[in-house]
Structure 1
Amino acid sequence: MTDSTAPRTALVTGGSGGIGRAVVTRLVDDGLAVGVHYAGNRATAESLVEEITTAGGQAIAVGGDVADEHAVAAAFDAVESAFGGIDVVVNTAGIMVLGSIAEYDLDRFDQIVRTNLRGAFVVSQQAARRVRDGGAIINFSTSVTRTQLPRYGPYVATKAAVEGLTPILARELRGRDITVNSVAPGPTATPLFFDGNTEQTVQALTAATPLERLGRPEDIAETVSHLAGPARWVNGQTVFVNGGLA
């Protein structure tokens, strides 16, 4: 028998920093128990978990390479063991290595495909098997699939594939009341964004939106919160969260 008083539970990949951290914090504020996934920075994830639990929330840290199916299965196992099941999976984990298509190093290409595409597929596969009926799966794309900026080709290729995967999984989960969507942020003030762009590019992108600012991680987390909870009629979609960037 299901315990109706138990909190809903989420697993957030890449949850220890940037947008992932904001998503974790928002979902905890929404009353969910959260598995905070990290790839390499265990200390940061554990610090976030400590902040959450000290404030009265529920969270655990889980690690592993998102492209390793055994590591991902173990992360799902740990969250299920701690909280009794999984209702929401948010796949924010990803890397961004920019460069022109003509000059791009193929070893780097293999790396970005492994993390962003294979990783998204592996996490989605486990989510399809594990998320409880009535839950939500939320992948991450990028608004650059529309803006088509130079030097983003390899990154966009991986994210466009995730956008294609998302509605198909939504249809494959017919009958289980599980929504599957992608969130496509625009320029967002995170270390990943600042590390990958010149100051000139940052200024240009800041001015490009009608709101004339960069997005904040909290802006993206707000949309994730909606898709994870009340947005039960949004399914198989990519939601562009970019302040009106063309």
Structure 2
Amino acid sequence: MTTAGVRATARISARDDGRGGTALPVLEGDGPLALRRTRARGDEARVMLVGAMSGPLGGDHFAVEAEVGERARLHVGSAAATIALPGQGKGEARYDLRLNVAAGGELRWLPEQLISVKGSELEVSSLVELAPGARLVFREEQVLGRAGEEPGRLTSRLTVRLGGRTLLDQEMACGPGAPGGWDGPAVLAGRRALGQLVVVRPEFEESLPEARALGEYAAISPLVGPAVLVTALAGDALRLRRVLDEALASLD
């Protein structure tokens, strides 16, 4: 039985303002999803996603849509971690991201981590559509359970397409009811923080970074296209962020 929950959508549209900056003609959120424009940095507009209430809870369906036009630059962060919680009734929660970047546009998607709490069920779906010549930095961090706590059920799928061609399409499932072996030595090896970073840049067409390890539990892997994928595991969220920040700095 699925319990009806909260439905909420946040929408962002970024456009070149013609004066060397980025305008935000659409910046709207409803229910628990609030958006706040923060101080711009150069020609880059900055937006903070602020959770106005706890969630997503079981049965909730949240969505965030962002569109970046030609020559526009958008940086999106969040004020705090997203915490997936069990609801009063049974039912899986959903969190959908739909991101589009036009040719010459740039999106830096750098939210705080998602924490999967014991008893929760959450499905995350992220679809990023890029036009040729678009630029992207996309970070995804997931923490399985709070300190000393078992995780909830978490399923996450990330798809990145460039000019209609798939650069990356992968799915991960962890927690109770997930396919066997997710916590074994060949997958998470007991680590509870996992993350990835996707970087797409036109200049990678000419010089694509080489595959290499980043310590014991992280690696940079080139994708088929002007893109690289960084994957990392860590014992906690702080160590995970440190690894991903170092990887991004090495690619900038």
TM band (smaller chain): 0.3 to 0.5
**Structure ranking higher in strand proportion:** 2
Structure with bigger helix share is: 1
Q: TM-score, normalised by structure 1?
A: 0.35
- If asked which structure has higher relative contact order (CA below 8 Å, sep 6+), I would say 1
